[in-house]
Amino acid sequence: MSKTYYDPADLKKFGSISEWDEELGSKFFEYYNSVFEEGALTAREKSLIALAVSHVVQCPYCIDAYTKDGLQRGIEKEEMMEAIHVGAAIKGGATLVHGVQMMNKYNKLSM
């Protein structure tokens, strides 16, 4: 067994999850591929969203995959960094907006 939880080489093996559950694995990958097709959003826009979400969920595999995907699509580094800031802003905001809950509770419990 590897001594680290993440191994870059595992990304290539993603498809192997279907080996232990063919039906659900296949359904997932079919869905996944459909999601990234051109639709109301361009494939380029979807790639940037995926990159931002990859950072928010802190998935190293996804970060590798969507940085490369962005490069292939001609997405520039400034666009990538801005997308990550969007993710960070939402994540930061999500933390801070709970501050209101803290304030509510504080006020309720205080005389």
Partner 1 sequence: MHTKSLQARKNLLSNPKEQLKYLSNGIFGDGELPLFKEKVATTGTFPLKPKKLEILQLNLGYMCNQVCSHCHVDAGPDRKEIMTRETMRLCLNVIRKSGAHTLDLTGGAPEMNPDFRWFVEEASKAGIKDFIVRSNLTIIVANKKYHDLPEFFRKHNVHVVSSLPFYKKEKTDRQRGDGVFDKSIQALKMLNAAGYGKMNSGLKLDLVYNPAGAFLPANQQALERDFKKALKEDFDIEFNELFCITNLPISRFLEYLIASENYEDYMTALVEAYNPAAVENVMCKNTLSVSWDGWLYDCDFNQMLGLKVNSKVQHLKDFEPEMLQDREICISQHCYGCTAGAGSSCQGSVT
Question: Which residues form the interface with partner 1 (CB under 8 A)?
Answer: 12, 42-44, 68, 71-74, 76
Quickly count: other Cβ atoms within 10 Å of residue 13's Cβ: 10
Whichever of 74 and 99 has its CB closer to partner 1, that residue is: 74
Query: d(Cα 12, Cα 32) in Å, to the nearest integer?
Result: 16
Q: 58: left (phi > 0), else alpha (psi -120 to 50), else beta?
A: left
State the nearest-atom distance from the C-beta of 44 to partner 1, in Å.
7
Query: d(Cα 60, Cα 9) in Å, to the nearest integer?
Result: 12
State the nearest-atom distance from the C-beta of 68 to partner 1, in Å.
5
Whichever of 72 and 110 has its CB closer to partner 1, that residue is: 72
State the nearest-atom distance from the C-beta of 31 to partner 1, in Å.
21
Whichever of 64 and 103 has its CB closer to partner 1, that residue is: 64
Whichever of 44 and 91 has its CB closer to partner 1, that residue is: 44
Query: What Å distances lie between residue 64 and 21, 51, 58, 93, CA to CA?
Result: 26, 9, 11, 25
Query: What tokens were used for 33?
Result: 């591929």
State the nearest-atom distance from the C-beta of 107 to partner 1, in Å.
53
